[in-house]
Structures are given as C-alpha cells and as structure tokens.
Amino acid sequence: MDTEQLVSTRRRTSMDDSNDTTHNEDTLGTLLNDIDKETGANERTHEPAKPVRSLLSYRTKLLLGLLSLLVIMYVVFFLFDMPLQNSVSIYDDSEGSRNALNMATCLWQPQTLSRLEPKAYIPIPHIIHQSWKTKTLPLKFQTWQESWIENHKDWKYILWTDEDNMKLCEDHFPWMLERFKSFPKTINRADTARYMYMYLHGGFYADLDMECLKPHDLIARKGGVVVPLMSRDYAFHDNIPNAWMGSAPGHPFWLHLLRMIRDRPIDGRIESMSGPTIMYQALKEFEQKYYNESMPPITYMAKELILPYDWHDTKDLISICSAQRDTIDPDLCKEKVDPEHKAFAITYWSHSWGDGDGKISTPFRRDIGGKR
C-alpha cells in the first residue's frame, strides 16, 4: 500500500468517525506509523514517498510491456501458422478453398510460401530420374542412359514411362489431373511429370539426350534446387532449360510451378505451357514474391558445368553437337565445348518431341554415344 492510498484511507476514516476525536487521533497515529515503516523514514512526514512510487510504477510498466509483447507474438504465430494446420481436403478445388493446400499431399498455399518455417538442411537424394514412352529406349539413347548409371553406381535409377506419369498424377496430384489429361501433346505431360519427381522424391532429372560426364555427388551436397543456365543472356526466356534439374524433396518452388502450369491457358506453345519459358517465369516470380532465407536455396549452375553446348549461342557447332544431325560427333563436340573437362553433363538437343516417332525411333548408322 503506497502513501496516497494510506492518506486516502486516513481521510475516509476521519469522515466516518467525526464524532470520536480520540479514535481519529489514534487511527491517524497508527496510519502514520505504518507509513514510516513502509518508507523506512525515521520521522513522520506528510511528504509522499516518491522514490517508492516511481520504482513500483517502473516495474509495473515493464511487466505490462512484456505481457503485451507476448500477446502480440502469440497472435502473429496464430495467424501465420493456422492456415498450414487447417488445410482443406486436397480434393476440394473450389474457389474458396483452392488456396488452402496441404504439404503432405503435394498441395500448397501460395500466400504462405514466404512464411515457411525454417527447415533443416536437406541434401539432394542420390536418385537419377529419366523418362520415355515405354521401357524400351531407342538405340541412340541407350549409351547416354548408361553414362548416368555408370557414374552413379550406388545411386537409385528410375526410368519413368508415360503410364507411370499418369498414375503419379492420379495418386499424388489429383488437383492437376484435369489439366494433365487435357495437354495437347505428350511432351507437356513429360515436362510436368519431371517437376512432380522433384517435389515428391527429389534427386536429379536428365533428358535422355544428355550424357553424364561426372558423378553428381558434389552438386547433391548443395541441397535445395539446382537448375542450369544455358547462356549469359539472362533476359532470354528459354535460358533455364528443363532438360536437367536437381532438388531436395518437398521444395515449394515445384508446387508454385505446377500451379502456374495448371492455371496457364493452353496456347499451343510447348515452351510456355510446360517447358523452359514457364519455368523461367515461375523462378522469377517465386524469388520475387515468396522466397526467403528460411527456405532451401535455389542455385543456378553456370553453363560451362551442365550445358557447355547450347543451341542459343553455339549454333556453329550444330553439325557435330546436335543429335538431330547424322553428322554428330560427341567426342569432337566435347573437345570443342569443354576442353578443360569442367562439365558434369552435356546435352545434344535431340528435341525428340518435335521430330515424330519415325526419326527418333530409328537407330543411327553408328554408335553416337562417344567416349570421354
């Protein structure tokens, strides 16, 4: 009880017992003695104990401030965390619920991408993904396929078929199924499926016209997402090909990309519907709107490391480096584009999706795999 409260009590007592002067004097003396004891004064004084009142006021303000801070922190956590905990069913894709996406079932809420909880470092799994229409590969792809297996003997290797890709979408991405089935070309489904591999399983994806030159263990330790640059032309919208990519499982970028593919109008241009163009746009938008330091990193590999030959800047080498030409010479190509042996892989750009079944299924007249 502070001085003001005691004096107030004294006044009320005096008013209530105004007919008993002696009692008032005794009460006043008792109250003043209590004041002396509480303030530590040796003599009675009517001056308020300012130091005590000031100290108590400071402590009270400090406690109230801390309490307010805790309340604010709880409210912020509640507002940011609850959308993730209360996701709707993955089969509900109505306008009101389409944003509530459940991580465990490959769905996500774009508005919360920038508020991911920090996650422990996760390296890229030791898995190689490739895909073809069936399990039977054209002869010209078999040597390049073997280069991935030989350089990663203790890794898991998966060759996905068109049938596998459809089942993958049905089982894990039902919200993508309608668009997946409505794509005008098989390559659209093959493009989209490789993004699903990255999200569900992680690992590395490589087109079948890519030759592996070095084991990817070093890149795998980077973690996060790794994608290649085709040239130094950073404004070129096809500058990040989807012919090669790597990822730790569960990175939200892939769901952002899949969402863009699902919502993009079908315009007949493969690159913008499911290929490099939309991947470039998705990376740009994701980094600008959603990426933060709590997420696993996104790394852009220099062209010398993954795509030493590209159809954008090295057109003069097309006769020896393009799998579309009968004059292809992989050994001479590698000597020209990678003389210092820095590259982990090289692609020969067969563009099999545009050639038709006849040419791509016909074995070349000689072994074009090349040596290293």
The H or E element that residue 225 is part of is strand 225-228
CA dihedral of residues 186, 191, 192, 196 (deg, nearest 10): 130
Structural domains in the chain, CATH included, are 3-82 (no CATH), 104-361 (3.90.550)
- Measure CA of the first residue to CA of the last residue in the chain; give whole Å: 90
Which 3 state secondary structure label does DSSP give 264? coil
Residue 346, pLDDT score: 94
Residue 194, pLDDT score: 98
Indicate the pTM of the whole model: 0.65
Q: Which residues contact 365 (CB under 8 A, 6 or more apart)?
A: 326
Regions of the chain with pLDDT less than 50: 1-32, 34-36, 38-52, 54-55, 76-118, 353-369, 372
Residue 145, pLDDT score: 97
Q: Which residues contact 329 (CB under 8 A, 6 or more apart)?
A: 320, 370
The H or E element that residue 60 is part of is helix 50-85
Structure tokens at 70: 């805790």
